[in-house]
Amino acid sequence: MWYDGLLRCCFFLSVSALFHVNLWPREKDGELALQLLKLICEKLSKMSKTDIDDIIRGPSIWVEKEYESDTKNKIKTYPFRVLFHATKMGNTRFIIELIRIYPDVTWKVDDKGKTIFHLAIKRRQEKIYSLLHEIGAMKDLIIRIKDKKGNYMLHMVAKSAKHIRFQSVSGVALQMQRELLWFKEVENTITLQYSHKKNADGETPRDWFTKKHVDLVTKGEIWMKDTASQCMVVATLIATIAFAAAFTLPGGYNQNTGIPFFRTEPAFIIFVISDAVSLISSSTSVLIFLSILTSRYAEHDFLTSLPNKLLTGLATLFLSILTMMVAFSASFFVLYNKQLQWVPITITGLAGMPVIIFAILQFRLLRDVFVSTYRSKYLFKPKKRVLYY
């Protein structure tokens, strides 16, 4: 009927508008399209399941199975299914609204036998995948579904993710960590029985994961070693400077007693303490980066061991730079404690620039390592429910 055709047209137009905006963090973008979608979904809820499936599925096309053009050698497929296209695009808001109105969409499979959760895993759409934890007992049934190639959910993780999904992750090593986090999450979600199931090629999820990520492990090792080598050079230089400064005290010392002249000055005490902290932290940083260089670089090392070492090494390196600049500035306050006060003040201001530059350049890496390592539990399980209030 013309009414169904109009409804179908409005449905696809609203969905198309939603696809071109990022609806998760920003509520105002595409608000009109979202309101239109809600109205249409309400209309859909009053229709039969057959009509709803037809509208959501979209038009079909014929694809040749062989090189011949005979109709018998063609299969009917639905490559433009809105449901699965929204999953690929990461349109979480659309999926949420659709599930609320028509929960049966969680059971729908595409032409390859994948549900939206299988596809979310394959495309690394963690926000859509997290909805699996909100559908109750249906989760236990969905995890049993396998596609036409015999792949279960855990097999989906084995396939390397598209690089575009990892543009927000700093470094290849952290990309490998994210892949391991995905595998661990899905493995904990499914039952033990399905974690060892073989696909049509006779491979278990773990074997397939290792096979598909050999190249990423190699690149992660190279990236980690390059980063550790460069940071270790800086840490070694700071340790050398701090060690030399410990025997070159500002203001000198008494030749007879060996006691520093300004030992009672507050600035001198700050110099001694900060120089000692700089030496200790830089030496610690060198040892940590050395342990990274000598690591085995096994697959599981990228999950916690290597990221923890990198985070600790960068933190101690930053501390050594900070305390070195404090010791440097304090030495001028010792020398100019009674006159020309603008000299140490100016130098202190300039000494802060290396610290600020290092913080700016390394902040994203430090943040990504910390969030990925210590806050990964919120990656797949949001703090609050979003599907059903």
Predicted confidence (pLDDT) per residue in 5-32, tens digit: 555 555 555 555 554 444 444 445 556 6
Give the pLDDT score at 23: 43
113 within domain boundaries = yes
Please report which confidence band the pLDDT of residue 62 belongs to, taking 50, 70 and 90 as the band edges: low
Give the pLDDT score at 379: 80
Same domain, yes or no: 371 and 361: yes
Residue of 296, 289, 330 lying closest to 311 (CA atoms): 289
Backbone phi, psi, residue 10, to 5°: -65, -35
Average pLDDT over residues 86-110: 83
Domain with residue 230: its CATH number is 1.20.140
- More confident of the two residues 190 and 224: 224
Same domain, yes or no: 208 and 80: yes
- Contact at 8 Å (CB) between 91 and 23? yes
Number of helices (H) and strands (E), helices first, in the chain?
Answer: 17, 2
Average pLDDT over residues 353-381: 81
384 within domain boundaries = no
The pTM of the full predicted model, rounded to 2 decimals, is 0.78
Give the pLDDT score at 171: 81
How many structural domains are present in the chain? 2
* Torsion (CA) 295, 297, 298, 302 in degrees, nearest 10: 100
Taking the C-alpha atoms of residue 106 and residue 84, their distance in angstroms, rounded to an integer, is 11
- More confident of the two residues 298 and 17: 298
Boundary-marking domain end, from 215, 249, 267: 215
Same domain, yes or no: 229 and 162: no
Q: Residue 16: which domain range?
A: 2-215
Residue of 215, 319, 338, 306 lying closest to 273 (CA atoms): 319
Give the pLDDT score at 262: 61
Q: How high is the mean pLDDT of the chain?
A: 78
Same domain, yes or no: 205 and 310: no
Out of 65-79, 86-100, 203-217, 287-301, least confident range:
65-79
- Contact at 8 Å (CB) between 56 and 77? no
Same domain, yes or no: 130 and 206: yes
Give the pLDDT score at 22: 46
Boundary-marking domain end, from 215, 243, 271: 215
Q: Give yes or no for residue 289 having a pLDDT over 90.
A: yes
Give the pLDDT score at 261: 59
116 within domain boundaries = yes
386 within domain boundaries = no
153 bridge partner residues: none
Average pLDDT over residues 343-351: 74
